[in-house]
Every structure is written in structure tokens, then in C-alpha cells.
A and B are shown apart, each in its own frame.
Chain A
């Protein structure tokens, strides 16, 4: 339930920010949306089993699902790279777009 609420809050904030005019806000919106997707992956793997998935350290039924963790790691790297590029674009070509708020 906590996870579901967390994802909901992150998606709500992310969508709100993505709908703003400024590219920096949009970028932050994508950061939030990316975290929401990552939490969704962890939820998809199940949150009851939390032991490290290393053979011999815990009972099989207690081990966490390693696959969503690998997914999340990949997704974080991709989101990180593209976030930086978005911020570069926000700085490049200043004043040539209507992304700034009108006075």
C-alpha cells in the first residue's frame, strides 16, 4: 500500500511538472516519473521477500527477485543520461523558444 501511494504521488507530481512550460521543470517531471516507474518495477517483483538473492545465504522463498533490480538499474542509467542531455538543451539556445513563462 505504501508503495502504491508512493508511485501515485510520484506520477501525480511528475505529470504536473511535465505539463509546465519551462524545460527545467519538465526535466524534473521526468525524474519523478522515472522514479515512479522504478518503484513500479520493485512492486512487480514483490516486496515480501527481501533477502539478498545469493545462493546459500537464505531460503529460496525469502530471496528477493533479482530481475526487477537489474531492470531498475538499467532504467536509472538511461534516465540519468537523458536527463543530463535535457538540461543541456534547456541551457542551449536561450530565448529562442517559448518555454520561459510569459511576463
Chain B
């Protein structure tokens, strides 16, 4: 495979976004271009995944500069897996948005394409400063998305989101400056293992990791997430849950595995923090007042499960974390889109006061309950395999407390999603008229369009497929984990361009 595809993966969405922002032709063609570009990128990313499926690394020096000077893009199995699943979720969300309200906004396609270009760049780059730049490229359109689409509280939510993200970015910048001052380089290949040898670099890298923990919404710096995501539109929340926090998680994995070389001295701290994230997220979810805040707290809990794999550093733990990451991205997007389909049709800001959706829309109800069971870890969905792998890894490493917390948090998560099911989908439909609730005859309410049911259903079935046919993803995750634990190949390819 030609390595020049790597910079093109970043350049194509950015160029398409620029063209779409300039061309003043609203409506169908713009949305078609958005979906076409994202489909092409999905195909490209699957191609990258196939090219590195045996655990190799492809590196490319951007602009054909010589080694040591060039900014390097590199793809290994871990980044290829992330690229594929993020492309899939972005495509499904874009299709959903094109069919519901958001897609009619003139700038929506450009914003999504810039966002995804930034995600691709962050997943591909092998340079710490470049990572910062692409995270900013990813965040800049998000600031607009969160403060333009959503309900009445979107502008305060947008302010909070920007302030927290900007503070985290500033901390990240300070951390990178400290790393550069101490190690004299920001190339990840040159930085490999430096934090293990020098405590000073470890401290500087710690600043970088803290910044990414804020962006990933790890306890105790998770508070911004449940206060912002519920107020944006469901499509945007689905996109953000699949892309933003997960890119930060990817960065934490990559930096800890490469720069710290999996240093065992700090793993106890990571284990405590990530176990607490699981527990706090699950408890917040079961206490969440509304459907979407339940889902956002479940995102926090999921981040804990994913990162627990890193804290159990080793091929088994990291493979479990990667499997969980793919599962979680798909399932959260499916859940948000199910709620989005309900909201787009019934126009309710509080779908949990609606009730009875499953009676009218059995297919949508099926999509939701399937994804909800998957999130909670009920077989045969992917969540069961993912949770099993994480808990098995914890038991193998002898971390019984973390295993017990993961098990109990799973049950709490189940309770929380059942709460949404009871509120939104079960029972009879209720409508508020002059603050008095009345039962609604089925014929009075509009139907959910089939086109809005398909995207969440597709993602739910994808999760089911990952659960039944989990061998394929598991073997990919295991190979990716081996490549991440043994960094030799990645470092050689990146250093050698």
C-alpha cells in the first residue's frame, strides 16, 4: 500500500470541507458530497486496516522531507482500527443528520468534514505537537457544532465546553513545551522510552496525560461532560461521543505505551483513577434525571472500562481495552441516534415524559433495547464480550477490586438504561396539555420515519455482529495490543520514515 494515502486521509476531508463552505448551493448536493466523502474515507480506512492487519506499521514523511526533520504520519493496527470505527460512526451520523434537521444547515457538512479530518490527523500523526494541532483542528468545528445545534441551553453549554477544552489544550501545550525542553524532540519515535529513564520527562509527560484525561472525561475531571453533551442535538452528541473522548483515550494509550514504555511504577495510580471513573460514571448514570444525561454518564463509565485495559498493562489488558473502545463507540452512537429519532419526530425535549414509543415503533424499540443491553453487557451483544475481556484481564493481573467494580458497575449501567426504556419506550404515550397529562390515542401522533430508524438499527446490528462474531475483532485487537506493547516496529518505521 502506498504510504502517500496517509496524508491524503487528512487532506481530502479538509479540502472537501473548504469547497463545501465556499460553494453556495444548499440542499441535496452538499449532503450527497458529505456522505460520498465519508464513504470514500471509510473505504480508505478499511484498506489501511487490511494493509496493517498482520501487525505491521506504515509510515510516511509528509512532504518527502528527510528523516529526523519531516513530520511523520504512521498507521499501525491500533490507529487503523480506530480510523475504521470512527469513519463508520461518522458516516452513519452524517446520514442520520442529512435525513433529520441538522443536515439542512449550510455549514453542517463542512463542520463535520473538518472535525473528521482532525480526528484522522490525530490518529495518524507520530508527532506530539502535531497531535496537539490536530486535536485543535478537531475541536474548532466542535465549538461551533455544540453552540449552534441543540436546545435552549446550548449557548451556556457551549461556553462551558469551550472554556474546559481550551484550558485542557493550554495545559497540553504547556506539557508539550516541557517535554520538548527536557527531551529535545516531540517525535514519538525519538521519545520512546524516555519517560521511563528520566523522571523529569515522566513529569512533563504527566502534564500531557492530565490534559488528555480532561479531554477524555476521566474522574475527577469528568464534570464538564454531563453538563454539556445533553444540551446539544443527539446527532452531535453521538458524533462527539464516538470521536472526541475516544481520540483523547487513544492519545493516552499511545503516549503511555510509547513514551513511558508501559512503566509499571505509575500503573497503580492509573488503576485507581480509572476504576473510580467506571464507578462514578455508572452511579451518575443511574441517578441521571433525563434520558440524555443518563447516556452521557454512561460515556464516562465506558471511558473508565476502556482505560482500565491500559492500567492492566500487557497484551491481555490492552486487547480488552481496544475491543471495548470499538464496542463503546458503536453502541453509544446507536443509543444517541435512537433518542435522536424519537426527539426529531415528537419534538420533545424530554422524551422520558413521552412513554409508549416501543408500542408504536417496535423496530426503533428493538434498536434501542438491543444497544442498551449491549452497553450493559448482556450476551450475545458485543458489550458482553467486551466486559468479559476487561474483567478477565483484571483477574489475570490479580486486580480483584477492579474486576469486582467492573462487574457491579455493569449491573448499575443496566439499571440506568432500563430507566430510559421504562420512561421513553414502555407503557402508553402521554402528552402534556396545559400541564395535565393525558393518554394519547395512537392515531394522533406522527410516525417515526423509517429512514431515521435505520442508522441506529444498523449500529445495533453491528454490535450484535461483533458479539456473535467477536473472534475477528478480538484477533485484530490482540495483534494491535502486541504491537503497542512491543514498540520496536513502530519506532523503527517512524524513525526510518
**A residues bordering B, Cβ < 8 Å?**
18, 23, 26, 30, 33-34, 36-37, 40-41, 43-45, 67-68, 71, 74-75, 78, 81-82, 85-86, 89-90, 92-93, 96-97, 99
How long is the Cα–Cα vector from A44 to B136 in the complex, in angstroms?
Answer: 22
Interface presence of B50 (CB below 8 A): no
A89 near B133 with CB under 8 A, answer no
Convert B155-183 into 0s and 1s, putting 1 for each residue whose CB lies closer than 8 angstroms to a CB of A: 11011001100110110011011101100
Interface presence of B96 (CB below 8 A): no
Chain B residues with CB below 8 A from A74, complex form: 129, 133
B177 near A89 with CB under 8 A, answer no
A82 near B162 with CB under 8 A, answer yes
With both beta carbons as reference points, the residue of chain A lying nearest to B155 in the complex is identified as A93
A86 near B162 with CB under 8 A, answer yes
Convert B121-151 into 0s and 1s, putting 1 for each residue whose CB lies closer than 8 angstroms to a CB of A: 0000000010001001000100110010000
Chain A residues with CB below 8 A from B155, complex form: 89, 92-93, 96-97
Q: On chain B, which size bracket covers the interface?
A: 20 to 34
B147 contacts which of A44, A78, A89 (Cβ < 8 Å)? A89
Chain A residues with CB below 8 A from B129, complex form: 71, 74
Convert B210-222 into 0s and 1s, putting 1 for each residue whose CB lies closer than 8 angstroms to a CB of A: 0000000000000
Chain B residues with CB below 8 A from A92, complex form: 147, 155
How long is the Cα–Cα vector from A96 to B159 in the complex, in angstroms?
Answer: 12
B167 contacts which of A18, A36, A93 (Cβ < 8 Å)? A18
Contact status of A37 and B162, CB under 8 A, knowing A74-B133, A78-B133, A97-B156 = no
How long is the Cα–Cα vector from A34 to B167 in the complex, in angstroms?
Answer: 10
How long is the Cα–Cα vector from A97 to B160 in the complex, in angstroms?
Answer: 11
**B residues bordering A, Cβ < 8 Å?**
129, 133, 136, 140, 143-144, 147, 152, 155-156, 158-159, 162-163, 166-167, 169-170, 173-174, 176-178, 180-181
A89 near B140 with CB under 8 A, answer no
A26 near B156 with CB under 8 A, answer no
Contact status of A89 and B136, CB under 8 A, knowing A33-B170, A43-B181 = no
Task: List 15 interface pairs A-B (beta carbons < 8 Å), by A numbering.
Answer: A30-B167, A30-B170, A33-B170, A37-B170, A37-B173, A40-B181, A71-B129, A74-B129, A85-B143, A86-B166, A89-B159, A90-B159, A96-B155, A97-B156, A99-B159
With both beta carbons as reference points, the residue of chain B lying nearest to A78 in the complex is identified as B136
A68 near B133 with CB under 8 A, answer no
Chain A residues with CB below 8 A from B159, complex form: 23, 86, 89-90, 97, 99
How long is the Cα–Cα vector from A23 to B161 in the complex, in angstroms?
Answer: 12
Chain B residues with CB below 8 A from A99, complex form: 159
With both beta carbons as reference points, the residue of chain B lying nearest to A26 in the complex is identified as B163
A82 near B133 with CB under 8 A, answer no
Chain B residues with CB below 8 A from A96, complex form: 152, 155-156
How long is the Cα–Cα vector from A89 to B152 in the complex, in angstroms?
Answer: 14
A37 near B177 with CB under 8 A, answer yes
A82 contacts which of B166, B173, B180, B181 (Cβ < 8 Å)? B166
Minimum-distance CB pairs A-B, first 8: A44-B181, A93-B155, A40-B177, A37-B173, A41-B177, A97-B156, A44-B180, A33-B170
A96 to chain B, nearest CB (A): 6
With both beta carbons as reference points, the residue of chain A lying nearest to B170 in the complex is identified as A33
A44 near B178 with CB under 8 A, answer yes
A89 near B162 with CB under 8 A, answer yes
Chain A residues with CB below 8 A from B163, complex form: 18, 23, 26, 86
How long is the Cα–Cα vector from A102 to B173 in the complex, in angstroms?
Answer: 34
How long is the Cα–Cα vector from A64 to B85 in the complex, in angstroms?
Answer: 43
